[in-house]
Structure 1
Amino acid sequence: MSRTGRLNCIIPPHLLDKLLTNDDSEVRKAALHTLLTTTRLRGERTVRSSFIGAAAAGGGRRTVFDCRQSRSLASAELARSEEGAVSGNVSVNRAFDGLGTTRDFYTKVFQRDSLDDRGMRLDGYVHYDMDYNNAFWDGRRMVFGDGDGRMFTDFTAALDVIGHELTHAVTEFTAGLAYHDQPGALNESISDVFGSLVKQWSLNQTAETADWLIGADVFTPGIEADALRSLKAPGEAYDNSQFGKDPQPDHMSRYVNLPNTELGDSGGVHINSGIPNKAFYLTAKRIGGFAWEAAGLIWYESLKASSAETNFQEFADTTYQKADELYGAESAEQLAVLAAWQEVGIQISGVPAGVARARSLSAGRGNGAGREDGLAALTRQIGTLAAQLKELSADVTGLKAGK
């Protein structure tokens, strides 16, 4: 069983709970079925293999299986392998490509050898169960439901969802963040952050042009919702009669205290993740450029330096320290980190609030201002040097004329 001992699902329980009151009996039926199936999976130790088996080196090789609407993973048919031909099944190919894109992202951006950094094989299972409104990582493999066709669609369609779920494995093999309260919300946030970065990397998007949404492709066309979550604007991903209002906070003053139970979302791990999500977005936006470069590297190195019970404050302090180690004290990158955490209500330890506020102003307010301010200063310096050179040239010309 994985160190977190949890089944990591992309659809939070509060969304499925809301659907239990839907006017459509088929929607209620699918939601209840998904909740019951997920609860059963969480209770079955046989579903999750030990890390020893999961971590067997395989060069990050991909294999996708077709469950054919069954809940039995053991009886799923091989649908596509690393050496095999392209499948005639769209879901199989999307899962295969998504596994590969996420693997390649970690390899090329962070030089990580698959999810465990030891070449772990990547297994995916599609067409899991009937009307199953979820996708999950079970400690060994990625499993995709097809959705009920009314609220949710095939989960293989969302690359950021695949990146999100596979990042749970990266977290398991690094910090091993416990799945409750703040460590659990940080666990979910890390998956949102890198799930978004996988999508941005695949589309070659900058922090400015990215949508910063998670799960924009999991809803059916008739559902009025932007996505499951928004890193840019937590609390604004959706607001409709089917799901209610997005409950994610974007500031510590709005932190939601929930019980560490299944009904309480393990202390609100899918809800309070909005706070560190916003901090990452603000950091990336202030730095500018491609978010997986500086901001992503700071977060990745901070994840590796964290432990099971790391909370928001400790992680914020670590990102500030890593920004210093990677880019220097009071660099644009470190000031962006400082300002971002301050904006979501977390002061970096050891940096007085007044000092933090003054320093953060130099990091700018959005639109990559941190680097733009540095560029502007360099431009001014070049302009000054050019003017001085012009004056010097004029002086030399005058001297020559006076001879």
Structure 2
Amino acid sequence: MATRNHHVCYVVPPYMLSAIADSSKNDDPIRESARHALTIHKSYCDKREKRFAALCAPRGSRAANVHQRQNIVPDHMLQHIADSEDVDDDTRACAKRDLEHIRSIHAKYQESQGLRAEQKAGVTTEQTSETTEKTYRAVYDAKNDSNEANLPGKVVRVEGQKATKDEAVNEAYDNAGLVLSFYADIFNWKSIDNKNMHVISSVHFGENYENAFWDPEIAQMVYGDGHDFLTNFTGCIDVIGHELTHAVTEHTSPLDYTGQSGALNEHVSDVFGIMIKQRVEDETADKADWLIGEYCLMPGVKGVALRSMKAPGTAYDDPRFGKDPQPANFKDYKITLEDNGGVHLYSGIPNKAFYNASVAFGGYSWEKAGKIWWETMQSGQIPSRCTFIQFADVTVDKAGDLFGDDAAAIVRKAWDDVGVARKS
């Protein structure tokens, strides 16, 4: 665990950090690092909560405009791709075309707003969010700097370039591509925002930083290298799928990052993260292990993953960071002020429901259960403060719409079996 951590995010949940900080089995520097990470966690959690609250605010309101961000590929990145000699011809041509398109859009926007003179005087303006025709990936090296203000770092590999000698760079690049191809191939969804939004990643963040996260304000992935307990974040496709899905959620049904809606936010990321992993490994629902972060734990740790969707509460049991505390049934749900109302703790309940439905349907998880959950997020029927039972009801309705009454009954039973049931 790094002593200079600047950010804590959701690959490693806060209850695990608390256990590390409290365990007498850990050395003092590790415990102190975990305490520091928990302090930072609060500010990061608040940032994500504000982000989703802004997205859920009425359009045109002041709150809705607080966290607007650029949704198009930045000029400097396109210029780098267009000028690079080792990018393939097709990608270089696309970058030049998109660069010209974006600059023309900016010119028209500035002219219509009377902003040209202001920009020449040094006044910056918001970029428009026009759709580009190609998704661009770029991976940067943070060079072990833990100051987020210095991100993304030094560019190492951009769309169309060949593999580098840095394994973490190549894994971040390739696995982001696998996530994007899953959304495109299975759900016809273009990148993160359905407008071919660029995907930027920074590797080697901090000294021995044992975490990875999607930052909603700077709109990019950030990866640490890991250390004593946790590692291989760029190599865990389900972790990357989980984090990038937080961004997809922003563009489908933003869920307030608190209480049950926050747990559903985390649940949706686990659902799509696990489906991406199962697609890469070509596993049907009944054959898959349903483990999130399976390859993040260092050898010697008594555990199999960060979370289990099949059996919440069984992923690990190690004296150095405690026992997996996730409940698998709503009867064990308790109101808490920790972790934004238990957003990581209670995501295991809907996770188990999705597992139940997937296995009951048979075949690949994305064929029926995944399609139902996707249509649920696209439905416009998910309120920002959605409860478990509200979410369950919409999934049952979508199951019926897509596959008939028998499918609806399967999904209802999946929720009933985890205690998320309509009162008789």
Band of TM-score, shorter chain: 0.7 to 0.9
Verify: 1:224 aligned to 2:302, yes or no. yes
Verify: 1:325 aligned to 2:406, yes or no. no
Give 1:31 deviation, angstroms: 2.2
Residue number in structure 1 paired with 2:208? 131
Report if aligned partners of 1:8, 1:165 keep a CA contact under 8 Å in 2.
no
Report if aligned partners of 1:33, 1:132 keep a CA contact under 8 Å in 2.
no
Residue by residue over 1:281-338, the C-alpha shift from the partner in whole angstroms, topping out at 9 and shown as x without a partner, is 000000000001100000011112223111101100000000111012x22x222101
Verify: 1:145 aligned to 2:224, yes or no. yes
Residue number in structure 1 paired with 2:376? 302
Cα distance between partner residues in 1 of 2:174 and 2:182: 12
Matched position secondary structure for 1:80: strand
Please give the residue correspondences for 1:98-177 in structure 2 after superposition, counting only pairs within 5 Å: 98-139=175-216, 140-147=219-226, 149-177=227-255
Verify: 1:25 aligned to 2:28, yes or no. yes
Residue number in structure 2 paired with 1:12? 13
Residue number in structure 1 paired with 2:414? 340
Report if aligned partners of 1:66, 1:127 keep a CA contact under 8 Å in 2.
yes
Please give the residue correspondences for 1:237-276 in structure 2 after superposition, counting only pairs within 5 Å: 237-259=315-337, 264-276=338-350
Residue by residue over 1:199-243, the C-alpha shift from the partner in whole angstroms, topping out at 9 and shown as x without a partner, is 001111100111101011111112111111110001111112112
Give 1:347 deviation, angstroms: 2.2
Gaps of 5+ in 1: 1-5, 354-403
Cα distance between partner residues in 1 of 2:303 and 2:261: 28
Report if aligned partners of 1:155, 1:161 keep a CA contact under 8 Å in 2.
yes
Report if aligned partners of 2:8, 2:37 keep a CA contact under 8 Å in 1.
no
Matched position secondary structure for 1:125: strand
Give 1:33 deviation, angstroms: 4.4
Output the amino acid matched with 1:327: F
Higher RCO, Cα 8 Å, sep 6+: 2
Give 1:89 deviation, angstroms: 0.5
Report % sequence identity.
Answer: 41
Q: Which moved more, 1:316-325 or 1:7-16?
A: 7-16
Report if aligned partners of 2:14, 2:41 keep a CA contact under 8 Å in 1.
no
Equivalenced residues, count: 336
Aligned to 2:138, which of 56, 63, 73?
A: 63
Output the amino acid matched with 1:229: R
Output the amino acid matched with 1:341: W
C-alpha root-mean-square deviation of aligned residues, in Å? 2.1
Tell me: CA distance 1:256–1:33, structure 2 relative to 1, closer, same or farther (3 Å).
same
Cα distance between partner residues in 1 of 2:45 and 2:259: 18
Matched position secondary structure for 1:196: helix
Cα distance between partner residues in 2 of 1:44 and 1:282: 33
Cα distance between partner residues in 2 of 1:242 and 1:169: 32
Cα distance between partner residues in 2 of 1:309 and 1:134: 28
Matched position secondary structure for 1:9: coil
Cα distance between partner residues in 2 of 1:125 and 1:29: 26
Report if aligned partners of 2:141, 2:202 keep a CA contact under 8 Å in 1.
yes
Cα distance between partner residues in 2 of 1:338 and 1:129: 45
Verify: 1:53 aligned to 2:70, yes or no. yes
Residue number in structure 2 paired with 1:370? none
Cα distance between partner residues in 2 of 1:84 and 1:34: 35
Cα distance between partner residues in 2 of 1:102 and 1:13: 25
Give 1:348 deviation, angstroms: 4.7
Tell me: CA distance 1:76–1:323, structure 2 relative to 1, closer, same or farther (3 Å).
same
Cα distance between partner residues in 2 of 1:75 and 1:152: 23
Tell me: CA distance 1:54–1:8, structure 2 relative to 1, closer, same or farther (3 Å).
farther
Report if aligned partners of 1:338, 1:348 keep a CA contact under 8 Å in 2.
no
Cα distance between partner residues in 2 of 1:303 and 1:44: 22
Give 1:36 deviation, angstroms: 4.5
Residue by residue over 1:54-90, the C-alpha shift from the partner in whole angstroms, topping out at 9 and shown as x without a partner, is 3544532111111010024436110111121211101
Residue number in structure 2 paired with 1:365? none
Report if aligned partners of 2:20, 2:31 keep a CA contact under 8 Å in 1.
yes
Give 1:145 deviation, angstroms: 1.0
Cα distance between partner residues in 2 of 1:301 and 1:317: 13
Gaps of 5+ in 2: 1-6, 52-65, 73-128
Tell me: CA distance 1:44–1:192, structure 2 relative to 1, closer, same or farther (3 Å).
closer
Matched position secondary structure for 1:54: coil
Give the TM-score, by structure 2 length: 0.75
Report if aligned partners of 1:64, 1:78 keep a CA contact under 8 Å in 2.
yes
Cα distance between partner residues in 1 of 2:319 and 2:220: 34
Output the amino acid matched with 2:223: F
Matched position secondary structure for 1:63: strand
Give 1:37 deviation, angstroms: 4.8
Residue number in structure 2 paired with 1:378? none
